[in-house]
Amino acid sequence: MGAAATLRDELDAATAALEAAGVPEARVDAEWLLAGLMGLGRARLRMDLGREVPAALAKRLGDAVRRRARREPLQRILGWEEFRGLRLRLTDAVLVPRPETESLVEWAFELLPPPSHRRLLAIDLGTGSGCIACALAAERPDLDVLALDVCPAAAAVARENARALGLAPRIRVAVTDLLHGVGHLGADLIVSNPPYLPTGLVPELLPEVRHEPSLALDGGVDGLALIRRIAAQAHRVLRPSGLLVFETAGDIQASAAATLLRAEDFAAVQARADLAGITRFVAGRA
């Protein structure tokens, strides 16, 4: 009988399988998968590579590697992603949070008035995992958040994340199609990372992105269908000078979205680039 496989053996085999499938950074992903299954960080995993691997763990790793080889996103296999320092649970009903969206939240904070005696209200449209809503509530204790999503399964994930992070008392999650049925709330902020990809581009996306829910990607023929509706509905729920801030596909689409806001009588319309220099975010005041 041969020697039992070690963590190093399993990592080497997982790396080879992922490389054969064309997965970028195969070794890094293999380490994340094994460390995640063991409840460890990657650094701690590397300290004990000579340790023998139980058969049950080897099987679970093999299952995870096969999923990643099919180009399922790493974060979805692990079941979580970090967003502005918060660990959020993920399912196949929600989009994996992106670093670009962290910049969207950062800009929203800059545009909001500073904390005062008055509580503020924000609306997160298309909340998905609840990453934006949770980040807003976590970093601004004076802020209450209404998190909306058309997908009941996504809303359930957002609700669970708010509860797990201790933010549920200040985050209300509801299922609705954008602002349909939402009356005049006098909100200080609407923030959204809506579906903004043109329908024709969705089949051409990277394999990992094609695993994302189409409801969170497809923005209609020109990618602006949801942004157009948000711009048309937002005045009804915002207080005077309330903010609308959202993410776009970038550059040309951001310019078109800014034009839509001006056509809907938003003032002080401006755009901002992401960390890669792509003009991606647009904001205006009611």
Q: What is the mean pLDDT of residues 121-149?
A: 97
Q: What is the pLDDT of residues 89-119, one digit of tens each?
A: 999 999 999 999 999 999 999 999 999 889 9
Helix (H, G, I), strand (E, B) or coil at 48: coil
Cα-based distances in Å from 91 to 213, 228, 235? 10, 28, 33
Cα(241)–Cα(239) distance, rounded to whole angstroms? 6
18: left (phi over 0), alpha (psi -120 to 50) or beta: alpha
Q: Where are the beta strands (DSSP E) in 181-237?
A: 187-192
Tell me, what's the pLDDT at 3?
Answer: 61
Tell me, what's the pLDDT at 189?
Answer: 98
Taking the complete model, does pTM exceed 0.75, yes or no? yes
pLDDT at residue 2 above 60? no
Cα(175)–Cα(126) distance, rounded to whole angstroms? 10
Helices marked H in 167-234: 207-210, 225-233
Tell me, what's the pLDDT at 249?
Answer: 93
Confidence of residue 1 (pLDDT cuts 50, 70, 90): very low
Reading the block at residue 85, the tokens are 């320092």
pLDDT at residue 277 above 80? yes
User: Tokens 């929203």, residue?
Assistant: 108
Q: What is the pLDDT of residues 191-246, one digit of tens each?
A: 999 999 999 888 888 888 888 888 899 999 999 999 999 999 999 999 999 999 99
Tell me, what's the pLDDT at 7?
Answer: 92
Give the DSSP H/E element, type plus range, for residue 108: helix 99-111
Cα(137)–Cα(168) distance, rounded to whole angstroms? 9
Q: Is domain 91-285 annotated with CATH 3.40.50.150?
A: yes
Instruction: Kindly state the DSSP code that residue 200 receives in the 8-state scheme.
Output: G
Cα(250)–Cα(278) distance, rounded to whole angstroms? 6
Tell me, what's the pLDDT at 271?
Answer: 97
Helix (H, G, I), strand (E, B) or coil at 116: coil
Q: What is the pLDDT of residues 137-185, one digit of tens each?
A: 999 999 999 999 999 999 999 999 999 999 999 999 999 999 998 888 8
Tell me, what's the pLDDT at 205?
Answer: 84
Q: What is the pLDDT of residues 8-31, one digit of tens each?
A: 999 999 999 999 999 999 999 999
User: Between helices 55-69 and 7-20, what is the axis angle to 10°?
Assistant: 20
Tell me, what's the pLDDT at 128?
Answer: 97
Reading the block at residue 73, the tokens are 């996103």
Tell me, what's the pLDDT at 184?
Answer: 85
Q: What is the pLDDT of residues 57-70, one digit of tens each?
A: 999 999 999 999 99
pLDDT at residue 262 above 70? yes
pLDDT at residue 41 above 90? no
